């Protein structure tokens, strides 16, 4: 073997490496379509039991859960993707309050609705699926709804709060920015006001679509599969700290909500277009929708005459509630305003995160509306 052989071997290796990456990038076009498709391959619902909520984890080593951008992989790991049995399928969409921050699966809204043992008039058991995700953005909710409708829901319950509405923040979140093709499609299909060329969208370059460029996404997908073993073995999908900082009850005399000051909270600054798109999407799929204004902490601490909680000054939240009620009065979707249905003692570490008892109160508030909608279905 001589220097020519060495040069030939190195050249061949390099050529194979480049060719393989180029083929991968080609298969992964446009916009990571290949890696997205790979996400549908999953050990969940086969080797491991499906997850009861979408994967999300800041501390994977302790939560046995991981955050990733592939909605396909997220849904493939969820029990909602398993073969549906004879049941009335209720999909819950919303933020971290719906996902169940600091709550075990049986304590979440989905868990507690299931514990109520509701039945549809035709005798089918009502089964609630937790499709919440710990990010406050209606566009994120819409993205999840779009995927969720592939899984044959009989009813969608969409829990919203003012913090999910500001238009300028809709695209701030990584999961939205990294799912640019799907969000752009929704912008086009539903004439959303968001800019399809918004620089916050992540559009992978050719190099980023190669195997080397996608190594993080592929590793996350692999790790999601591996953590499935521990999810199955322990039933744990979240790290529960022994202590947490309770939600703020005393406030400065601050009347601002984001960049807005009283009395102006323009409706145009809120993403009602996204809300309308969600309603239309469900309607087109023939699925009724219940929109719930989720409970918030109504504090009785210092300056609570000015603010309900750390998130919302009273004037802004009241204006939002009035706008939401008026907007939904046209009746395309059933609306339930549950904003004050949970006492302040039943909030944990934020203005929207509930204790198990708080969730129970919310479940009991929502259950009659669900029962009513099952009758109409």
Q: Which residues bind another protein (CB under 8 A)?
A: 1-3, 5-6, 9, 60, 62, 64, 222-223, 226-227, 229-230, 232-236
Residues 134 and 178: their CA atoms lie apart, in Å, by: 16
C-alpha neighbours within 13 Å on the C-beta side of residue 58: 8
Minimum CB separation of residue 242 from another protein in Å reads: 14
Q: How far from chain centre, in Å, is Cα 151? A: 16
Least Å distance between CB 60 and another protein? 8
Crossing angle between the packed helical segments 314-328 and 272-284, to the nearest 10 degrees: 30
**Residue 159: closest CA among 108, 95, 211:** 95
Residue 224 vs 333, nearer CB to another protein:
224
Quote the least distance from Cβ 6 to another protein, whole Å: 6
As measured in angstroms, the least distance from the Cβ of 129 to another protein is: 22
Which residue, 9 or 322, has its beta carbon nearer to another protein?
Answer: 9
Please state the closest distance from residue 42 (CB atom) to another protein, in A. Answer: 15
Q: Which residues face 289 on adjacent strands?
A: 156
Q: What minimum distance in Å lies between the beta carbon of 108 and another protein?
A: 19
If DSSP codes are grouped into helix, strand and coil, which group holds residue 307? strand
Distance CA 369, CA 375 (A): 10
For 147, other C-beta atoms within 10 Å of its C-beta total 19
Alpha carbon distance, N-terminus to C-terminus of the chain: 76
354: β partners: 347
Give the C-alpha separation, 338 to 291, whole Å: 10
H/E stretch holding 273 reads: helix 272-284
Q: Do 163 and 311 meet the contact criterion of CB atoms below 8 Å apart?
A: yes
Please identify, using beta-carbon distances, which residue of 221 and 315 lies nearer to another protein: 221
Identify whether the C-beta of residue 294 lies closer than 8 Å to the C-beta of residue 303.
no
- As measured in angstroms, the least distance from the Cβ of 179 to another protein is 25
* Closer by beta carbon to another protein, 37 or else 222: 222
Q: Pick the closer one to another protein by CB: 2 or 330.
A: 2
Give the residue with the Cβ less far from another protein, 234 or 268.
Answer: 234
C-alpha span between 201 and 74 (Å, rounded)? 20
Q: Please, what is the minimum distance in Å from the beta carbon of residue 38 to another protein?
A: 16
């Amino acid at each position: 073997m001589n220097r020519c052989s060495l040069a030939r071997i190195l050249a061949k290796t390099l050529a194979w490496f480049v060719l393989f990456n180029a083929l991968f990038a080609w298969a992964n076009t446009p916009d990571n379509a290949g890696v997205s498709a790979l996400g549908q391959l999953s050990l969940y619902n086969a080797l491991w039991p499906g997850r009861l909520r979408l994967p999300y984890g800041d501390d994977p080593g302790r939560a046995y859960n991981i955050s990733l951008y592939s909605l396909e992989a997220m849904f493939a790991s969820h029990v909602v993707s398993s073969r549906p049995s004879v049941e009335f399928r209720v999909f819950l969409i919303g933020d971290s309050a719906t996902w169940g921050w600091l709550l075990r699966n049986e304590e979440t809204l989905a868990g507690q609705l299931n514990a109520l043992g509701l039945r549809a008039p035709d005798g089918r058991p009502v089964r609630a699926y937790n499709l919440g995700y710990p990010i406050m953005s209606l566009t994120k909710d819409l993205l999840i709804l779009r995927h969720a409708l592939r899984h044959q829901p009989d009813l969608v319950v969409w829990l919203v709060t003012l913090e999910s509405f500001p238009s300028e923040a809709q695209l701030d979140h990584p999961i939205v920015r990294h799912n640019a093709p799907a969000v752009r499609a929704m912008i086009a299909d539903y004439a959303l006001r968001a800019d399809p060329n918004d620089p916050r969208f992540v559009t992978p370059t050719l190099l980023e679509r190669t195997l080397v460029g996608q190594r993080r996404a592929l590793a996350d997908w692999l790790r999601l599969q591996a953590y499935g073993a521990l999810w199955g073995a322990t039933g744990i999908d979240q790290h529960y700290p022994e202590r947490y900082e309770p939600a703020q009850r005393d406030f400065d005399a601050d009347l601002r909500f984001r960049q807005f000051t009283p009395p102006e909270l323009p409706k145009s600054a809120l993403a009602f277009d996204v809300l309308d798109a969600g309603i239309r999407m469900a309607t087109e799929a023939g699925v009724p929708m219940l929109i719930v204004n989720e409970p918030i902490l109504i504090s009785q601490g210092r300056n609570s005459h000015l603010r309900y909680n750390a998130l919302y000054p009273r004037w802004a939240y009241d204006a939002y509630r009035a706008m939401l009620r008026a907007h939904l009065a046209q009746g395309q979707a059933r609306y339930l305003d549950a904003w004050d249905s949970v006492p302040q003692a039943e909030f944990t570490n934020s203005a929207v995160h509930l204790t198990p008892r708080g969730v129970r109160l919310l479940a009991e508030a929502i259950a009659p509306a669900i029962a009513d909608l099952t009758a109409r279905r």
